[in-house]
A and B are shown apart, each in its own frame.
Chain A
Amino acid sequence: MPNTTIAATDFASILAASVHDMKNSLCTIRDLIQQLKQSNTTDNQLMQLEFEASRMNNSLMHLLALYKIELEKFSLQIDEYSLNEVLNDIQAQQSALLELSQISLEVEYDSQEQLCYCDFDLISNAIGSILNNAQRYSEKHVILSAGNQNGYSYFCIEDDGAGFPEKLMASKEIDFHGGNTGLGLYFVSIIAKLHSNANKQGYIETSNTSRLGGAKFTLFLP
């Protein structure tokens, strides 16, 4: 049998190259969606397209990041940011989907202009992917909020949907066989854990105690 083993680093390049190509396709899809918006396609179909494209993109990002963490070719770039800066970025990321969906997103900005410490791109994208899902599974409203509490900064997403399925809340493990893998939640929990300060570590909380009656997701960063 010929030697078909791919050296780990080569695989990283291959993966990166595939991602590059796929990203280009995704961009084209997104552009088409924008063009279709002006024709008679139903908003619902467009929203579906946008959601799927956005989810594919998020999955790719997660895949690549997790792979690099595994290879130890990864470290955070933690710096100081304002909470509102992060909130703005998350909202801007999701703006295309928000325009199409009937969901109204309410962002509760932090009136005190408080600061937080995080890897900005990583955190913004991770929370963005959770918000992406929240829009998909909520009825009408989603609230995005942030604050500082007991030595942690938190980012919270609450929706008015049916809430998290029991298994996603009960087990901390990722279900690779079920339909909804929860890869997004798994990813955020890994990224949260990587954020540490003094003896504290980041973590996530999922519950169905949303002020709007649906699911509530909170990310805590030390």
Chain B
Amino acid sequence: MLDLKSKNILLVEDYPAMRKAIRDTLYSLEVESLVEAENGFKAIAAMQTHKFDIVLCDYNLGAGKNGLQVLEESRLRKLLPSDAAFIMVTGEQVQSMVLSAMDNKPDEYLTKPFTAQLLLTRLERTFKRKSFFKQVDAAINDENYALAIKYCDKLLADNPGKLRTAALKKRAELAIYVQDYSTAQQIYQDILNQRELNWAMLGLAQIQCLQGHSEDAIRIFLEIIDKYPMTLEAYDLLAQSYELTDQHTEAQATLHKAITLAPQTILRQRKLATIANKTGDLEIAESACKSVVELGKYSIHKHASDFSNLAQVLNQSEKTDDALAILQSMRTEFPNDPSTALRAAIYEADIFKSRGDTEKAEAAFTEALELTQQHRQDLDKEILLEMSKACYLNKQESIADKLLEQLIKNHIDDDEFINNINAMQCTIGYENHAEELIHTTKKQLIHINNEGVKLYQQGHFTAAVELFATAFKSMPNNKTIILNMTKIMLHAIQDVGCTEKNMTEAKYYINKAQKLGVAPYKLNAIQMEYAKLALSFKNSLKKD
């Protein structure tokens, strides 16, 4: 039997009598370490200061964060160890699928009221599963997918008994993470040959979608939705497939359907708002943008752009007073943030312009220019792109070009962002304006890479490192440069031997790569290589 004496438990429940009832239940199970929180904020605060093994959280927490938002935040901020159990307590049973947001599922749903024995049974089941997957989950938590796959294969080889299907499911998900689609497809197909399971169908369709076979993906997603209309992930992925094939109206309708089934998911509402903007459906765009702002209130996904998106939609519908008011509340919600201040100034200029108030529009634009000058280093890329657009529209082409040049150089290997740059240029009638710059930057990047690799192959490690270091200076936020830089640097170190200086340098670039968001699976091998070098360096120092 599971021993709860040694477990640290957090109970999150707003209703005092209910809290007492669950507390009594827990004490009857000999729980000794119990912390209680009456709302989501206190729950998050408690998780920051304590290390919990079990969180029992009610979905419905009255005002403030709901249970799902507590779960999302704890997962995204890694406030819980990977072997902790998060149990969502709900009033009704069938909600479970509606509640779950994309990747964030609790370990267990418990419908209240529940007996002490039921709680214990469910906890036992959860911990059995958790301890079975302990190594795999820890590796996933570190985003070390290669290692997670190794452990998962080991579990599967050791006759996992009744957990075999669960292990296969995890193995397929891991295969998708590392883009090994054929393995994932094989697993899902094998499972489906035995039994039609919702998640295996979903996985199969997702693989078709990821491999660019959108038509096949769409067919399977529609079949899933027909058979299991509450599979909300299927709607999300179907909409994504429609988007990939430029069927925006269908994408919008699909997301709209999902939202009528489960209106509480901020990311889905945000997606709907984006698509409705594309299709020009102002009514849907406005309601979705409003929901996003509302749902963002207590969510870790809250973002200033949600406010400015709403302001833009309102401006388009000539509700300029409302639009200005939203920007004002954005300023209040995100105080002392230069990106937000710039964001507000840019859109205020827009709104005053459409009102015909040239004087105020100019004042707002001047403020935007000043903010850009002052805080250049601290501004995020999306708002800088918006600013360069505003500059083009206000005939400040040289400033606009300069901003764009820096953005292109830093993000040349971020296809999505480069697409956004192109899209921005199209909307203001500057088609192909940045094309040449993008083209030359890309060529330059390829050239540097080729040169660097050539030098490396010829054994000129130091020269290769120097070449990348120079490139790094002109494109400090470029992921390809930094990734190759770290790879070659480690080879150079192996060649010339570890020194305090080159190890510190290597560590700096690895950390920088991590900060820039280089995909963890690309960094894993490098980090392991570095750890090996660091260990042998440490040992060699000891010998001396």
Contact = CB atoms under 8 A, between A and B. Distances in A.
Interface of A: 9, 16, 19-20, 23-24, 26-28, 30-31, 34-35, 53, 57, 61, 64-65, 68, 72-80, 82, 85, 88-89, 91-96, 113, 115, 117, 121-122, 125, 197
Interface string B174-202: 00000000000000000000011111000
13 contacts: A16-B91, A16-B95, A20-B91, A24-B18, A27-B21, A27-B112, A64-B94, A74-B94, A89-B121, A92-B122, A93-B115, A93-B117, A115-B162
Contacts of B227: 75
A93 B118 CA distance: 5
A89 B197 contact: no
A26 B350 CA distance: 56
Given A23-B113, A93-B114, 5 more contacts: A27-B112, A61-B92, A61-B111, A65-B94, A122-B93
A100 B461 CA distance: 78
Given A61-B93, A117-B195, A28 B18 contact: yes
Interface in B1-51: 15, 17-18, 20-22, 24-25, 28
A136 B17 CA distance: 28
B93 A125 contact: yes
Nearest to B199: A79
A76 B228 CA distance: 7
Contacts of B261: 73
A57, A77, A78 interface centre (most CB from chain B within 10 Å): A77
Interface string B233-265: 000000000000000000000000000110000
Contacts of B116: 95-96
Contacts of B122: 89, 92
A89 B199 CA distance: 23
A61 B117 CA distance: 20
A205 B360 CA distance: 77
Given A76-B228, A92-B117, A23 B112 contact: yes
Contacts of B165: 79-80
Given A73-B261, A92-B120, A93-B118, A31 B112 contact: no
Contact of B21 (A20, A30, A75, A78): A30
Given A74-B94, A75-B227, A77-B96, A92 B115 contact: yes
B145 interface: no
Contacts of B196: 197
Contacts of B231: 75
Contact of B117 (A72, A95, A115): A95
Contact of A113 (B15, B24, B111, B161): B161
Contacts of B95: 16
B429 interface: no
B109 interface: yes
A64 B96 CA distance: 13
B97 interface: yes
Contacts of B92: 16, 19-20, 61, 64
Contacts of A9: 260
Contacts of B60: 20
Contacts of A57: 113
Nearest to A31: B21
B115 A24 contact: no
A27 B113 contact: yes
Contacts of A34: 24, 28
Contacts of B109: 121
A93 B162 CA distance: 22
Q: For the complex, would chain A's binding face be called helix, strand, loop or mixed by DSSP majority?
A: helix
Contacts of A95: 115-118
A31 B24 contact: yes
Given A64-B92, A92-B121, A197-B196, A125 B111 contact: yes
- Give chain B's interface secondary structure class: helix
B229 interface: yes
Q: Which 7 residue pairs of A and B lie closest in terms of their CB atoms, listed nearest first?
A: A95-B117, A31-B21, A92-B121, A75-B228, A92-B118, A92-B117, A75-B230
A89 B122 CA distance: 8
B144 to A, nearest CB: 27
B353 interface: no
A78 B113 contact: no
Contacts of A113: 161-162
With most chain B CB atoms within 10 A of its CB, the pick from A24, A88, A91 is A24
B195 A77 contact: no
Contacts of A20: 60, 91-92
B412 to A, nearest CB: 44
Nearest to B128: A85
Nearest to A117: B195
Interface string B84-125: 000000011111110000000000010111111110111001
Given A31-B21, A61-B92, A74-B94, A85 B15 contact: no
B230 A96 contact: no
Nearest to B191: A80
A30 B113 CA distance: 8
Nearest to A98: B117
Contacts of A30: 21, 113
B20 A31 contact: yes
A30 B118 CA distance: 14
Interface in B206-235: 227-231
A31 B498 CA distance: 66
Contacts of B111: 61, 121, 125
Nearest to A113: B162
B110 to A, nearest CB: 9
A78 B195 CA distance: 10
A96 B21 contact: no
A68 B94 contact: yes
Contact of B15 (A24, A31, A72, A80): A24
A92 B1 CA distance: 13
Nearest to B15: A24
A79 to B, nearest CB: 7
A49 to B, nearest CB: 13
Given A23-B112, A24-B17, A31-B20, A121 B96 contact: yes
Contacts of A27: 17-18, 21-22, 112-113
A64 B93 CA distance: 9
Contacts of B195: 80, 117, 197
A78 B112 contact: no
Contacts of A65: 93-94
B168 to A, nearest CB: 10
B132 to A, nearest CB: 14
Contacts of A88: 121
B162 A23 contact: no
B101 to A, nearest CB: 16
A62 B379 CA distance: 54
A197 B111 CA distance: 27
A4 to B, nearest CB: 23
